[in-house]
Amino acid sequence: MEKQIRNRASQLIEGFCSFLRKCIYSIVSIGPIPKHIAFIMDGNRRYAKRHNLEEGSGHRAGFSALMKMLKYCYELNVKYVTIYAFSINNFKRRPEEVQSTMNLIQEKIEGLIEEESIVNRYGVKVNFIGDLNRIRQVGSRTGYDRYLAQLAGRALDMHCVHVDE
């Protein structure tokens, strides 16, 4: 019984949030919508430390938030999204941390291949920009290579970038 009440409450909250989002979209849509938005994936480690979470949990939370933002960008007809995901400076961190982050990136790229992913649902085209050889040096590019093979004529361009020094 308690589980049913929690499920119902969750559905009500989700429905209310959806309604609020539609209201906000209606208001925002009155003005000009940018064609290009950029996100800098920064602060995930600090977030995890501040909330006493396991190493890597902040990056997972950041990825989840990013997927929500991509959905909102799609709903608002933002055509281009750039994501600064892994700075060249991040390679200066502990090797275990770099490898852990690369493993997470690999896992998430593999997830983008899945049919039900937000990228496939909305026809998002992903371009990886930067020194991709560094990715090869740290970990496998299998997911990246498989994903590139599946890209064709997508509606929303998303660019994953890392900045060289």
Choose among 136, 157, 134: nearest CA to 145: 136
Query: For residue range 2-51, what is the model confidence (pLDDT) as tens digits?
Result: 788 888 888 889 888 888 888 888 888 888 989 898 888 888 888 888 98
Q: Which of 42, 131, 145, 157 is catalytic?
A: 42
Mean pLDDT of 80-87: 82
Please name every residue paired with 81 in a beta bridge, in sequence order, or none if there are none.
37, 158
- Is the per-residue pLDDT at 165 higher than 70? no
Q: Look at 129 and 76; give whichever has higher pLDDT.
A: 76
Task: List C-alpha distances in Å: 71 to 8, 39, 47, 149, 156.
Answer: 24, 14, 23, 23, 11
Picking from 86-90, 118-122, 128-132, which range would have the lowest pLDDT averaged per residue?
128-132
Q: Would you list the domain boundaries of the chain?
A: 1-31, 33-163
Q: How would CATH label the architecture of 33-163?
A: 3-Layer(aba) Sandwich (3.40)
Active site includes 164?
Answer: no
> What is the pTM assigned to this prediction?
0.69
